[in-house]
Amino acid sequence: MIGPNTLPLFVAIPLAGAFICPLLGKRVKSAVDAVGIMAVLGVFALSIFAVITLEGRDYSPISVTAGGWPAPYGIQMVLDGLTAFMLVTVNFVALLVAIYSLSYMDRYTSRWKYFTLFLLMLAGMNGVLITGDIFNLFVFLEIASIASYALVAFGTEKHELEAAFRYAVMGSIGSLLILMGITLIYSRASTLNMAHIAQRLQVFGMGRTGLAALVLFVAGFGLKSALVPFHAWLPDAHPSAPAPISAMLSGVLIKSLGVYALARLVFNVLGITPHISSALMALGALSMVVGAILAMNQWDLKRLLAYSSISQIGYIVLGLGVGTPLGILGGLFHLFNHSVFKSLLFLDSGSIEYSVGSRDLREMGGLGKRMRVTSWTTLSASMSISGVPPFAGFWSKLLIIMACIQEKQWVYAIVAVAISIVTLAYFLKVTRFAFLGTVRDTLRGVIEVPAFMRIAMVGLAMVCILGGLLLIPGIREAFLGGAANALSAGVIIPGEMGR
């Protein structure tokens, strides 16, 4: 079903949508919604087919060269287990967020600008996932980043502009570090194709140049994924964007641009060593602790969620850093779960803002009786993120902790358990202040949000509750297993990719 010819469609469909939206936007208002939804639905369907196709061919990667130029000269696009897994995650969240936006964006003018930027960001993210060329990855990363800078500034109020400025400056510095890393890798390996770099570095060795590039990559992608020493921009940028965009940024953007790209380069191109592994684990644990402690005393709901993202990204990086197949499986499963529950929580915060008009927890109370859908979906996402069984988040955290214990990393295992409890504490705070208690007089008129927003939230909540089923043998191999194998297989061999 997914052959080499359909592979570029993952980028082409959203890009075409982003081109059509401004053409239609000024004349036919409703057509913009249709184009946006159709484009996202198209890529989501394609990514489901991609998983099925890959399973059918026993996970041997599919690759295509752009313009028919052979591999080291032309740009290669590669679909392997990890790419397919990430494509499904990104496009699933994007689809529900697009449905949510149909109603939510009524608060803003110029929907066509919103959908244009949204589709551009999606094209960039899909491009990062599917490319097999290291400079091409940089270009797509910049497309997604620039679109996201503009989306953070979308409201053009004071604090949104300020957050966007700060985000753009920090993001650009991250990109520059990545670019310099790519330059160093090119000077060492004389090629930009990931598989060929991997092969040449195996032959010539990393050398000091390769190590310097690795440091630049950790710093650059660390900035993009907001690991702790590089996190300062995230709590400003993510809450300032419109709620559906916060959901995209926290849910999938920091993962596809940061965690995925870092994991791909470290595991499959440069090769993981004990030093990198321990550095990743330390960065992950630090992010977990700092993010969770800072989240505790936030009263702005979206800011609390943003700090919680930093903490959860720490879990993912810790799981990947352990480096064993179990750790990688746990890290990737937590990545999927975090995409789902964090975007759901941001959509919920958007619903509350839509109905109540405030994000301050102290101004809420008793919303559980007024907004049943929002309250139940928030509860299921909170349970999932704090790792309460049998919600999906429990299983992924369990896998990460088990991987730490297997490798005798007792400290990290204890930290992971402790932070899980802290997470539960601050989400109980959200539930307590927002949904329980008596209804305030000012909130008597509050009603539930429109249908499109409810559909999106319920859809994500179902995955939060049933996500644990992905670990059942049979389903696990098809979706998570293929992705984990792609990473734990180590550096790629050109023969495998060049097919």
The interface region with other proteins, picked from 141-149, 407-415, 471-479, 480-488 by CB under 8 A, is 141-149
Phi and psi angles of residue 131, each rounded to the nearest 5 degrees, phi first: -80, 150
Q: Which candidate, 393, 401, 432, places its Cα nearest to that of 417?
A: 401
* C-beta neighbour count of 122 within 10 angstroms: 33
Question: Which one among 53, 183, 324, 485 touches other proteins, defined by CB under 8 A?
Answer: 183
> Out of 9, 16, 41, 139, which residue is the one contacting other proteins (CB under 8 A)?
139
**Does the CA dihedral 67-68-73-74 come out positive or negative?**
positive
Interface mask toward other proteins for 187-226; x: CB under 8 A: x----x----------------------------------
Shortest distance (Å) from residue 311 CB to other proteins: 18
Q: Give dist(CA 360, CA 92) in Å, integer.
A: 29
128 near other proteins, rule: CB under 8 A: no
Which residue do the tokens 């309460």 mark? 388
**Binding span for other proteins by CB under 8 A among 37-45, 135-143, 384-392, 409-417:** 135-143
Query: Taking CB under 8 A as the rule, does residue 38 contact other proteins?
Result: no
Q: Is 232 in the site for other proteins (CB under 8 A)?
A: yes
* Contact string (CB under 8 A) for other proteins, positions 82-121, x = contact: ----------------------------------------
Which window, 8-16, 78-86, 134-142, 381-389, contacts other proteins (CB under 8 A)? 134-142
Map the footprint of other proteins across residues 153-182, applying CB under 8 A.
153, 156, 158-159, 161-166, 168-169, 172-173, 175-176, 179-180
CB of residue 169 to other proteins, shortest distance in Å: 6
Q: Using CA atoms, how far apart are residues 84 and 110, in angstroms rounded to an integer?
A: 33
Work out which of 41, 150, 388, 424 binds other proteins, going by CB under 8 A: 150
d(CA 427, CA 436): 13
Work out how close the CB of 391 gets to other proteins at its nearest, in angstroms, rounded to a whole number.
Answer: 32
Q: In this complex, which beta carbon is closest to other proteins, that of residue 98 or of residue 153?
A: 153
3-class DSSP assignment, residue 273: coil
Smallest separation, CB 408 to other proteins (Å): 39
Q: Does 296 sit near other proteins (CB under 8 A)?
A: no
Tokens of 84: 């397919």
Nearest distance, CB of residue 253 and other proteins, angstroms: 17
Site membership for other proteins, residue 399 (CB under 8 A): no
Binding status of residue 425 toward other proteins by CB under 8 A? no
User: By C-alpha distance, which of 273, 247, 225 is closest to 101?
Assistant: 247
Question: Which are the contacts of 210, defined by CB distance < 8 A and separation ≥ 6?
Answer: 184, 185, 188, 201, 270
Q: Is 228 in the site for other proteins (CB under 8 A)?
A: no
Ramachandran area for residue 437 (φ above 0: left; ψ -120 to 50: alpha; else beta)? left
The DSSP H or E segment spanning 355 is helix 325-356
Quick one: 176 or 493, whose CB is closer to other proteins?
Answer: 176
Comparing CB distances to other proteins, the nearer of 165 and 376 is: 165
Whether 127 and 146 have beta carbons less than 8 Å apart is answered as no
Q: Which CB, 240 or 409, lies closer to other proteins?
A: 240
Distance CA(11)–CA(9), nearest Å, equals 5
Does 146 contact other proteins by CB under 8 A? yes
d(CA 260, CA 280): 13
- Contact in structure between 17 and 39 (CB atoms under 8 Å): yes
Residues in binding contact with other proteins, number by CB under 8 A = 31
Q: Which is nearer to other proteins, 177 or 329 (CB)?
A: 177
Longest dimension (CA), the chain: 72
Q: Which is nearer to other proteins, 183 or 324 (CB)?
A: 183
Torsions phi, psi of 490, nearest 5?
85, -155
Query: Cα 380 to the chain's mean position, in Å?
Result: 20
- 142 interacts with other proteins by CB under 8 A: yes
Joined tokens for residue 324: 């064993």
**Residue 247 φ/ψ, nearest 5 degrees:** -60, -40
Q: Which residues contact 164 (CB under 8 A, 6 or more apart)?
A: 149, 150, 152, 153, 237, 240
Comparison of 159 and 499: residue with beta carbon closer to other proteins: 159
Closest to other proteins by CB, 153 or 484 = 153
- Least distance from other proteins to the Cβ atom of residue 141, Å: 10
Tokens 């984990």, located at residue: 484
Minimum CB separation of residue 354 from other proteins in Å reads 22
In which element (H, E) is residue 64 found?
strand 62-65
Helix (H, G, I), strand (E, B) or coil at 199: helix
Q: Which member of 149, 336, 391, 433 binds other proteins (CB under 8 A)?
A: 149
Q: Which residues lie near other proteins (CB under 8 A)?
A: 135, 139, 142, 146, 149-150, 153, 156, 158-159, 161-166, 168-169, 172-173, 175-176, 179-180, 183, 186-187, 192, 232, 236, 240
